[in-house]
Amino acid sequence: MMYLVLTAMLALNVSADVLNGFTLVHESLNESKATTEIQNTILLGQFEDLKSQNPQRVGEWLDKAKTVQAKTDSLYNAIETLKLDIVVQADGSDADVNNIQNKSNLDAGGQIALVTGRARKLKESIEQYKADMTEMVGKDSAKVHYLNQTYNTGMVTKQNGDKISWEGAIFESMPVVASITLLTKVQADLKHTELTVVNHLKNQVDASDFRVNKIEALVIAESNYITRGGRYSAKIVLAAIDSTMKPKIIVNGRELEGDKNDYIVQAGSVGTFPVKGTILLPRLDGSTQSYDFTSSYMVGEPTATISADLMNVLYAGIQNPISVSVPGIPAANINVSVSNGTLTRTGKGWNINPRVGQDCNISVSAKMSDGRVQSIGSKPFRVKALPPPLAYIEFKDDKGNTQQYKGTGRPIPKAFLINSNGVRAALDDSDLDVKYQVLGFDVNFYDSMGNAIVKTSNNQSFADDQMSLMRGMSKGKKFFISRVRAKGPDGIERVLPPLEVTIN
């Protein structure tokens, strides 16, 4: 209908650009038709496959689908013939519907379609086609609305407000290219309608597979409690349900009550317990079909696993990562509390920052499936102060790799020393990833008379006067780095043991 309104505005004075625009629209519609025709062929092939599997059930629906195809092809071909006759009237006997020469010809459409009455007959055929397709889709209101909108052959309002018939809007004083484009639009609609209606009919075959009014997806697990290294196994099924017909379910000798068919028992002791019974389903003929079932469930003592990720102690003043798990309980339902410290939840667990002086106790509770909060267990941890770090010189070797010089009697090349990053501090051979900040240090040099020369740095880098003395040292000479002051994340400032440096 939109195309008719637009073209009704262009009836008398049409520019070359507009005519070319209709040509582009016509080409686009042809491409759309071709795509839909392929889809229709595939869909009908699927229908044929269904019939080969179950001829008795599918045959009725396939016959209707072929009727839709035949009615569509009949009307489609009639329009194609009308299009060709109009273009021949405009271009002559060598006319090509897809390559119109006299696009602006305003008379050909009216002479072929209106004067002869073919336009009126086309309108009647379209209305009959709409009625036939409406009967095919039955009570599907969305598809009925689609058909009414697509095949609206009522009056069309022109730009000046006057009304004109559907036939007149397409053919009366209209450029040939516009009339052909509108007819091609009808053909494209026919192919799309065929796809829609045939797909609807195919769905009726599928729907007949289920004599139910509700389908649910279910996961039936062998067990919801799996130990590490074990295997989770479950059946994923669709359950067909008739909500209007309630079955009788008997479990362990007791009939279930209510609409949800939930079997709930209180787990008072540990062990494995059976679940068996019968489902009695009434048939339409009044008889009853019985279905036996058997299963079991395991009840275990609730336990919690609490472990420090680094080691079996906690260190005061820093964040200690811990992991807590309760078998069968989601992590989101686990609650952790701590004495003598602060607790922070992370993406993978918790961080605990304890205070030095006394042990730390971690307690775990969990929200159970029935909503209860149950205490699971607790575990004490020893709390220690951070061990003192050791000083080292950080430098890069010939390959650009960062190295640590810790003295221990071995020499360090002067070039590495001069270009080093200064003095750093870290825990020696520890699993703890603790960062220390060096606040300053002294360098003790000795002249040829044995007199001590002390130079001080107030940060982690060598001071200029320290560097100057190091540059003047020869191979085999030694100096000491002493009074190294470093502060860790616990905020405590420490003085570290001295470091003996030998020049190579």
pLDDT value of position 274? 87
d(CA 369, CA 377): 18
> Percentage helix, strand, coil, to 5, in the chain?
35, 30, 35
> What does the DSSP 8-state code read for residue 330?
-
Residues 19 and 11: their CA atoms lie apart, in Å, by: 12
pLDDT in tens, 363-372: 999 888 778 8
Instruction: Note whether 351 and 337 are within 8 A (CB).
Output: no
Nearest CA among 269, 317, 325, 323 for reference residue 297: 269
Give the three-state DSSP class for 444: strand
Domain boundaries, the chain: 2-207, 214-299, 305-384, 390-503
Structure tokens at 268: 């008072």
Q: What is the DSSP letter of 47?
A: H
Which residues of the chain are modeled with pLDDT < 50? 1-6, 8-12, 208-210, 227-230, 285
The answer to whether residues 383 and 313 touch, using CB atoms and an 8 Å cutoff, is: yes
Identify the pLDDT of residue 77: 96
Radius of gyration of the chain (CA): 44
Burial of 161 (C-beta count, 10 Å sphere; 0-12/13-18/19+): exposed
Beta strand 313-315 with 373-384: parallel, antiparallel or unpaired? parallel
Residue 278 and residue 292: Cα distance in Å, rounded?
4
Taking the C-alpha atoms of residue 337 and residue 367, their distance in angstroms, rounded to an integer, is 14
What's the rounded Cα separation, in Å, for the pair 100 and 120? 24
Provide the pLDDT for residue 282. 76
Residues β-bridged to residue 423: 393
CA distance 91 to 244: 67
Q: Mention every residue, 6+ apart, whose C-beta is less than 8 A from residue 101.
A: 90, 91, 95
Q: Please, which residues have CB within 8 angstroms of residue 337's CB and are 6 or more apart in sequence? A: 343, 362, 363, 365
CATH classification for the domain delimited by 305-384, as one of 2.40.50.100, 3.20.20.70, 3.90.230.10, 2.60.40.60: 2.60.40.60
Buried/exposed code over 406-416 (b: 16+ C-beta within 10 A; e: otherwise)? ebeeebbebeb
CA 148 – CA 136 distance, rounded (Å): 14
319 with 352: CB under 8 angstroms? yes
In this predicted structure, what is the pLDDT of residue 41? Answer: 94
Which residues sit opposite 306 in a β-bridge? 324
Give the integer Cα–Cα distance in Å for 142 and 385.
74
Residue 6 has a pLDDT of 47
Integer Cα distance of 188 and 180 in angstroms: 12
Report the distance separating Cα 167 and Cα 153, nearest Å.
Answer: 8
d(CA 312, CA 362): 13
Position of tokens 């410290």? 341
Instruction: Convert 219-248 to b/e letters by CB count within 10 Å (16 or more is b).
Output: eeeeeeeeeeeeeeeeeeeeeeeeeeeebe
Beta-bridge mates of residue 493: 487
140 C-beta neighbours (distance < 10 Å), count? 16
**Which residues have C-beta within 8 Å of that of residue 375, sequence separation ≥ 6?**
363, 364, 365
Contact 23, 177 (CB under 8 A): yes
Structural contact between residues 462 and 501, judged by C-beta atoms closer than 8 angstroms:
no
Taking the CA of residue 403 as centre, how many other CA atoms within 13 Å lie in the half-sphere pointing to its CB? 16
In angstroms, the CA 69 to CA 3 distance is 25
Structure tokens at 229: 């290294």
Secondary structure of residue 283 in the 3-state scheme: coil
246, 259, 249, 243: which is closest to 211 by C-alpha?
243
Give the count of alpha carbons within 13 A of 355, CB side only. 7
